[in-house]
Amino acid sequence: MTRVIIDCDPGHDDAIALVLAHRYAQVLGISTVSGNAPLSETTANALMVTALLDVDTPVHAGAARPLVGEPRHAQVVHGASGLDGVERIEHRRTVESLNAIEFLLDAPDKDVWIVAIGPLTNLALALERDPSWVRRIAGISIMGGSATVGNTTRVAEFNIFADPEAAARVFGAGAELRMCGLNLTHQLRTTDAIVSRLQSVGTARARFAAQVFDYLHLRMEDLIGEREAALHDPCAVLAVTHPELIEMEPRAVDVELEGTLTRGMTVVDQRSSRRQDPANASVAYRIDAHRAMDLVLECMA
């Protein structure tokens, strides 16, 4: 089984990614970061998901703010708790440490993938301490950025926009990178039909997933008038556990830090001529959404 560390900011889709990772990979640990909600909330949510799954995966709290500027959150989608709309589960789990950076630096091995599904602050801080860290891991699978449209701005995706300086360091670190951006994750969508299927499964995790999707559908109905939601973060897990489902192309990707309209954009070299810049990432373009959704449903049983 692929060995992974999940760096996350749960977050509804992060929570589903955690369920998938525990089913299809060996999860060595979870590091949390400020993102969808403040760090205290994302850490509490990560602990709650491990309680739901009845696993003792260590949870390490990381950065409470981006490298530059003030923290940005995505309450408009995920609510103030980062996981609004789901029943809270009583449990006794506590954090393993308040030093996710130390954990990230210590844990790796040549076969360990970091699955990064929140702002990239923890990873950038680890790189600052030890730039050779990326050569001691298998690679980094990122949900972030886009080769087309943005969501937080016209061209910037939330995880990158929330800490562009951190993202720039990670994209420039020389790591084996897989990038599942919005151009990919918009292809994997939940619907009310999926919620109905989950409601009939009868397990605690299926009930949880049904509540997660139902809440996201409600928010999307408000925001864009459609009861459907993209399952962003699970794509970055599948990119390492089931890479055969995802078509990726080597591309040069840089993060824009200066643009007045484009700060936080992942600028992907998609020129078809031979003048392409050297690739630093495998950019995901297509996913077998049918099979991917089957895998999501399978792990709720």
Q: Which amino acid is at 114?
A: I
Q: Which is nearer to ligand BDR, 178 or 232 (CB)?
A: 232
The answer to the question of residue 233 lying near ligand BDR (CB under 6 A) is yes
* Site membership for ligand BDR, residue 13 (CB under 6 A): yes
Please count the residues of the chain: 301
What backbone phi and psi angles, to 5 degrees, belong to 87?
-65, 130
If one asks whether residue 181 binds Ca ion (CB under 5 A), the answer comes out as no
Q: Is the distance from CB of 244 to CB of 252 less than 8 angstroms?
A: no
> Least CB distance from residue 179 to ligand BDR, whole Å?
13
Residues 118-157 that bind ligand BDR (CB under 6 A): 143, 151, 157
117 lies in the site for ligand BDR, by CB under 6 A? yes
Q: Is residue 184 part of the contact set for ligand BDR (CB under 6 A)? A: no
Q: Which of residues 198-217 bind Ca ion (CB under 5 A)?
A: none
Does 45 sit near ligand BDR (CB under 6 A)?
no
Q: How far is the CB of 14 from Ca ion (least distance, A)?
A: 4
Task: Report, in Å, the least distance between residue 110 CB and ligand BDR.
Answer: 27
- Give me the active site residues, please: 232
Burial class (CB in 10 A: 0-12, 13-18, 19+), 243: middle
Contact status: 11 vs ligand BDR (CB under 6 A): yes
* Interface positions, 11-30, toward Ca ion (CB under 5 A): 11, 14
Rounded to the nearest whole angstrom, what is the least distance from the CB of residue 134 to ligand BDR in the complex?
21
Stretch that binds Ca ion, among 5-13, 40-48, 62-70, 191-199 (CB under 5 A): 5-13
Candidate segments 7-15, 38-46, 51-59, 261-269, binder of ligand BDR by CB under 6 A: 7-15
| Per-residue 3-state assignment (H helix, E strand, C coil) for the chain | CCEEEEEECCCHHHHHHHHHHHHHCEEEEEEECCCCCCHHHHHHHHHHHHHHHCCCCCEEECCCCCCCCCCCCCHHHHCCCCCCCCCCCCCCCCCCECCHHHHHHHCCCCCEEEEECCCCHHHHHHHHHCHHHHHHCCEEEEECCCCCCCCCCCCECHHHHCCHHHHHHHHCCCCCEEEECHHHHCCCEECHHHHHHHHCCCCHHHHHHHHHHHHHHHHHHHHHCCCCEECHHHHHHHHHHCHHHEEEEEECEEECCCCCCCCCEEEECCCCCCCCCCCCEEEEEEECHHHHHHHHHHCCC
Residue from 145, 148, 121 nearest 235 by CA: 145
Among 48, 59, 117, 229, binds Ca ion (CB under 5 A): 117
The one of ligand BDR, Ca ion, none whose footprint includes residue 157, by CB under 5 to 8 A per kind, is ligand BDR
User: Closer CB to ligand BDR, residue 157 or residue 256?
Assistant: 157
x/- map, 45-84, Ca ion, by CB under 5 A: ----------------------------------------
**Is 66 a binder of ligand BDR (CB under 6 A)?**
no
Q: How far is the CB of 233 from Ca ion (least distance, A)?
A: 5
Judged by the rule CB under 6 A, the positions of this chain that interact with ligand BDR are 11, 13-14, 36, 74, 77, 117, 143, 151, 157-159, 232-233
